[in-house]
Every structure is written in structure tokens, then in C-alpha cells.
Amino acid sequence: MTRGSSPRKLVLAVIDALDPRGFERATREGSAPALAALMERGDYVSDCVSSFPSITPVAASSIATGLGPAEHLIPSLNWYHRGEERYVEYGSSFPATRTFGIFRSLQDTVYNMNLAHLTQERKTVFEHLDDAGLRTAGTTYLIYRGRHRHEPSTGSRYSRLAEAAQFRHAVWGPRELFYADIFDSRRTGCFSTLGMPGQRDAHAGCVGEYLVENDLFDFLLLSLPDNDTYSHRLGPEAQPTSIAEADRALGRMMDAAGGADTFLEEHSVIVMADHSQNAIDSSVNLALALDGWRLLLPADLAPEEADIAVCPGARSAQVYVVEEERREGLAPRLAEDLCEVEGVDLVARRGHEEGIVQTRRGELRFARGGELVDPRGESWSVDGDLQALGLEVEDGIVRSQDYPDALARLWSALDCPRSGDVLLSAKPGVEFMDWGGHDHVGGGSHGSLHRCDSLGVLLMCGVGSRSREQWAIRDVAPTVLEHFGVTG
Ligand SMILES: [Zn+2]
């Protein structure tokens, strides 16, 4: 590990689901003055591509590690844990959480995601920077794993509630950790009613202000999740309102240093989305669509009789053949059935050292290595109907307008040992209903491989950013490490 000559402090602000169109409107119309100030002074990328699935646990893990799901090992929002023979639910909705047990879902989301499910082989950005002796900090973000031990907070009315909700174990996080009133490395006077939607951005702004006033970090991951919740409910068109809330939090932090100019003398800033959102007009109940199969139910009385486990993940889904030895035989049949389901756009599965994509536009097989190169410089071979993924080949370069970074994102999802045997991506406008019977029809959602929810904002201010044809959220962790001269 090496460290260069004292670089500026860095704030990585993740605005959940920050849609480029909503962002551009909010900055243009004056409802987001802090973001507009950063936009004026920084490099703006309007098409930074998410992970696949383009959902928060998977994308947050990519942002925090610089890896795809094949390596960070968080496959989806809801997945089947083969080792424990059960569903893992990270909070698709409150009804879904209730279906799997509220305490169990909370334990999986707050503790197990970081301490058990996320790869132990590779480091998070916090762990890299902690190991280099830098002062790390974070507000409520799904991935927080670092080298500093934090006991649950005590003494406030929220900490008593947290204790009642069984948040009793210590965690390893950044040096300064402020997580939903459950963990507070200092008394800041900032509260979030245990991370209640609508209060989380204001909490992050309050903590950000405190940390700047007291000079407590070199690297801060400032998490601003409320835009996603708002946009799920009212649709991506409504985002300028919730972007204005996120902007207030950023403005509060920057004002603690005297405003944008003085703040940027000492700090660099990256603002980014993890994915964006797509307006939803219909939903698909996969459990009903697969009624010819014996599904594993959330509280199954005879789990040994189940053939498949079905895991909706908003605009993506994963289906698992429960018994290891039947996977190879059943997956092709399952894929055939899923191709027929209304609203399904892509069906993907593993073949022998290749990925197989089935769509109504045709079938495509692809593999790593070969004659073709994608816009990020990775090589591939493809065989079959290129229109399955909207691929165009020109001068040896393979790219897709409709499915950005399609081959690498799909490959990483298929290669993740915890992924389902068959992966689905929904058509624009369609969502898969979760296990609580909940969907976002009339609002917005995300999760697919399609550009409509895969491309988000990346804005870099004071970070030595090189130009790339296609930025991806997995580029951010290496950019942060490079900024500090820390080798990954
Ligand atoms: Zn979301």
C-alpha cells in the first residue's frame, strides 16, 4: 500500500436512482443549487452504467468494491441461499419483508449482507483506505464494511428501539459510522428515526455538516437514498422534487465549509447514481406464471418437494433449480417456459463456458475472449442473433445502444455462484411483483439490463478523471483509490 502526497479530502455522494433527465432538469431549473455548482465545476457523465441486476444491493456492492456480482457475491435483492436452503430478502418492500419475517430480513440486510454474504476475499473501498491509514466515514449505506469496530448506539430513544429490534451486535465499519441511529461513532445530535424513508437524506446532511465542521474524514461516503423511494412511488418524472432534498443535504455539508468554492478548495466530490428508474405500467406475478412447477414457498411446509425457487428483483428476477443434480436438466426447460411469460424481455442462463440469451428477437450465445472488443476494452466471442441484445459490430468493436455494457454485465451475473440458474430482465414498463404481492405500477422501478433503468449520473469534481467511452459504476472505487494514491 502506498500513499501519495496529501490529496484533497473526498466525498462520494451516492444519490440513489439519480436519473440524468431529472438531474439535468433540477440543476437547470434552480431547485438543486449545490448540484448545479458542482456541475459547473466538474466533469459530467450522463450514461454511467449500473450492474446487472440494476438494483441497489448489487449496485451498492459494485460501487463499494469496484467488482461485479461474480466477484462481490451479492446477486440480487431477493435470492435463494443454497447453503442455508432458504430465501434471503433485503427489503424489496414492507409486505415482502413481512412475508419472510421482519427480523430475519433486517438481520440479513444490516448484518449478513456485509459480514457474511459480501465477498471476504476482496476489500471494500473503506477497508483499502483504512489499511492505508486514511480517515474513513460513512452515513447509512447498504455496504459499510471497514476495519473499525462499532458497538450499537446506546442512550437515545432510537437506540432503545434498535435494541428492541434486535440490533445488538457490533459491526466492522469505517472509522466514523452513522447508520440509521443503530450505529453512531459520535454524538452528532443527528437522528433519522431508524433510517425512515424521507428522513435519511436530512440525516446524512446533518452528519455531513458535523463531520466537515470537525474535520473528521479524508473519505466520506455520503449516502442519499430518499430519491429512490420517492421515484418508486411517483415515477422518475417526479425526481426533481426528491433531488432537491438530496441537494439540501449536500448544500448543508458544503455550507459548513463556507459554500461551494471554499468547500472545493479542500475537498473533491463525486456525485453518482447506482442506477436510474423506468416508469412502470404493468407487473408480472412469476409465481402464477410458473404454476406448472412446484415452487419453494417463503414458509414452505414441505420444502423438500420444491423444484424451483423464484426470486423477483424488481425489473429483474432469478429462478433457481433447488436440487444441484437437476440443475443442468431443468434449467433449459425453465428458460423455455420463462420466454413465454408476458413482460419478460431477456432470459439468460449458463451453458458450457458460455452464456445463452433467449429473447423473442432470437437467441445468442457469448463467451469471454475472442475477436470482438467492447467499448470498455474487454474481448468477447458471440454467436447467433445479434439483435437479441441489440448488438452492432463495427471494425471489431461490439456495442449495444439498448443494453449498455450488455456482455460484461450479463457475464458477471451469470458467473456469480449465488445467482439463479435462469436470469430474467423485464421489458421497459414492466416489473416483477415481489413475494409480498407488491409492485410499483403507476410509479417507477429498476433492475433490468435495458438502458431505461441502467444509465445514471456520474459527476466528478476535482478527481483526475480520464475520458472513457463507457463509464460504469464499478470504475468509481478504483477512481477513489487512485485519488488517494492507494493501490488496490
Ligand atoms: Zn429502488
pLDDT tens digits, 17-51: 999 999 999 999 999 999 999 999 999 999 999 99
The number of distinct structural domains making up the chain is 2
227 with 151, same domain: the answer is yes
Q: How confident is the model at residue 160 (pLDDT cuts 50, 70, 90)?
A: confident
Tell me how far the alpha carbon of residue 428 lies from the centroid of ligand 1, in angstroms: 15
275 with 287, same domain: the answer is no
Tell me how far the alpha carbon of residue 6 lies from the centroid of ligand 1, in angstroms: 37
Tell me how far the alpha carbon of residue 289 lies from the centroid of ligand 1, in angstroms: 24
Tell me how far the alpha carbon of residue 481 lies from the centroid of ligand 1, in angstroms: 27
- The reply to whether 469 falls in a domain is yes
Tell me how far the alpha carbon of residue 345 lies from the centroid of ligand 1, in angstroms: 20
216 with 352, same domain: the answer is no
Which amino acid is residue 296, in one-letter code? L
Tell me how far the alpha carbon of residue 445 lies from the centroid of ligand 1, in angstroms: 6
Q: How confident is the model at residue 1 (pLDDT cuts 50, 70, 90)?
A: very low
Average pLDDT of every residue of the chain = 95
207 with 297, same domain: the answer is no
Could you give the percent of the chain with pLDDT greater than 70? 99
CB 208 within 8 A of CB 223: no
How much is the average pLDDT of 286-304? Answer: 95
Tell me how far the alpha carbon of residue 235 lies from the centroid of ligand 1, in angstroms: 11
Tell me how far the alpha carbon of residue 233 lies from the centroid of ligand 1, in angstroms: 10
CB 65 within 8 A of CB 410: no
Tell me how far the alpha carbon of residue 269 lies from the centroid of ligand 1, in angstroms: 23
For residue 364, the enclosing domain spans 282-439
pLDDT at residue 164 in the model? 80
CB 52 within 8 A of CB 410: yes
CB 50 within 8 A of CB 274: yes
Tell me how far the alpha carbon of residue 229 lies from the centroid of ligand 1, in angstroms: 6
Tell me how far the alpha carbon of residue 382 lies from the centroid of ligand 1, in angstroms: 32
pLDDT at residue 36 in the model? 98
Tell me how far the alpha carbon of residue 317 lies from the centroid of ligand 1, in angstroms: 14
Tell me how far the alpha carbon of residue 197 lies from the centroid of ligand 1, in angstroms: 12
- The reply to whether 315 falls in a domain is yes
Is the pLDDT score of 2 beyond 80? no
Tell me how far the alpha carbon of residue 228 lies from the centroid of ligand 1, in angstroms: 5
- The reply to whether 317 falls in a domain is yes
270 with 314, same domain: the answer is no
Tell me how far the alpha carbon of residue 16 lies from the centroid of ligand 1, in angstroms: 7
Tell me how far the alpha carbon of residue 482 lies from the centroid of ligand 1, in angstroms: 29
Tell me how far the alpha carbon of residue 234 lies from the centroid of ligand 1, in angstroms: 12
pLDDT in tens, 89-133: 999 999 999 999 998 999 999 999 999 999 999 999 999 999 999
pLDDT in tens, 250-293: 999 999 999 999 999 999 999 999 999 999 999 999 999 999 99
Tell me how far the alpha carbon of residue 434 lies from the centroid of ligand 1, in angstroms: 13
Q: How confident is the model at residue 195 (pLDDT cuts 50, 70, 90)?
A: confident
For residue 321, report the phi and psi dihedrals to the nearest 5 degrees.
-80, 125
196 with 268, same domain: the answer is yes
- The reply to whether 89 falls in a domain is no
CATH assignment of the domain containing 269:
3.40.720.10
Tell me how far the alpha carbon of residue 55 lies from the centroid of ligand 1, in angstroms: 6
pLDDT at residue 5 in the model? 58
Is the pLDDT score of 10 beyond 90? yes
Tell me how far the alpha carbon of residue 268 lies from the centroid of ligand 1, in angstroms: 27
How much is the average pLDDT of 382-402? Answer: 97
Tell me how far the alpha carbon of residue 307 lies from the centroid of ligand 1, in angstroms: 29
Tell me how far the alpha carbon of residue 227 lies from the centroid of ligand 1, in angstroms: 9
Beta bridge partners of 373: 379, 397
382 with 291, same domain: the answer is yes
298 with 219, same domain: the answer is no
pLDDT at residue 4 in the model? 46
How much is the average pLDDT of 445-464? Answer: 96
Is the pLDDT score of 140 beyond 50? yes
pTM of the model: 0.97
Is the pLDDT score of 9 beyond 80? yes
Tell me how far the alpha carbon of residue 327 lies from the centroid of ligand 1, in angstroms: 30
- The reply to whether 85 falls in a domain is no
Secondary structure (H, E, C), the chain? CCCCCCCCEEEEEEECCCCHHHHHHHHHHCCCHHHHHHHHHCEEEEEEECCCCCCHHHHHHHHHHCCCHHHHCCCCCEEEECCCCEEEECCCCHHHHHHHCHHHHHHHHHHHHHHHHCCCCCCCHHHHHHHCCCCEEEECCCCCCCCEEECCCCCCHHHHHHHHCCCCCCEEECCEEEECCCEECCCCCCCCCCCCCCCHHHHHHHHHHHHHHCCCCCEEEEEECHHHHHHHHHCHHHHHHHHHHHHHHHHHHHHCCCCHHHHHHHEEEEEECCCCCEECCEEECHHHHCCCCCECCCCCCCHHHCCEEEEEECCEEEEEECCHHHHHHHHHHHHHHHHCCCCEEEEEEECCCCEEEEECCEEEEEEEEEEEECCCCCEEEEEECHHHHCEEEECCEEEECCCCCHHHHHHHHHHCCCCCCEEEEECCCEEECCCCCCCCCCCEECCCCCHHHHEEEEEEECCCCCCCCCCEHHHHHHHHHHHCCCCC
CA 261 to chain centre: 31
Tell me how far the alpha carbon of residue 232 lies from the centroid of ligand 1, in angstroms: 6
Is the pLDDT score of 357 beyond 90? yes
Tell me how far the alpha carbon of residue 213 lies from the centroid of ligand 1, in angstroms: 32
47 with 150, same domain: the answer is yes
Tell me how far the alpha carbon of residue 277 lies from the centroid of ligand 1, in angstroms: 8
Number of Cβ within a 10 Å radius of residue 340: 10
pLDDT in tens, 408-453: 999 999 999 999 999 999 999 999 999 999 999 999 999 999 999 9
Tell me how far the alpha carbon of residue 54 lies from the centroid of ligand 1, in angstroms: 9
Tell me how far the alpha carbon of residue 424 lies from the centroid of ligand 1, in angstroms: 17
Tell me how far the alpha carbon of residue 127 lies from the centroid of ligand 1, in angstroms: 26
pLDDT at residue 194 in the model? 83
- The reply to whether 166 falls in a domain is yes
431 with 456, same domain: the answer is no
Tell me how far the alpha carbon of residue 459 lies from the centroid of ligand 1, in angstroms: 20
361 with 261, same domain: the answer is no
Residues 6+ apart with CB under 8 A from 59: 50, 51, 274, 275, 473
174 with 317, same domain: the answer is no
Tell me how far the alpha carbon of residue 20 lies from the centroid of ligand 1, in angstroms: 16
Tell me how far the alpha carbon of residue 433 lies from the centroid of ligand 1, in angstroms: 14
Tell me how far the alpha carbon of residue 352 lies from the centroid of ligand 1, in angstroms: 33
Could you give the percent of the chain with pLDDT greater than 90? 91
- The reply to whether 108 falls in a domain is no
- The reply to whether 94 falls in a domain is no
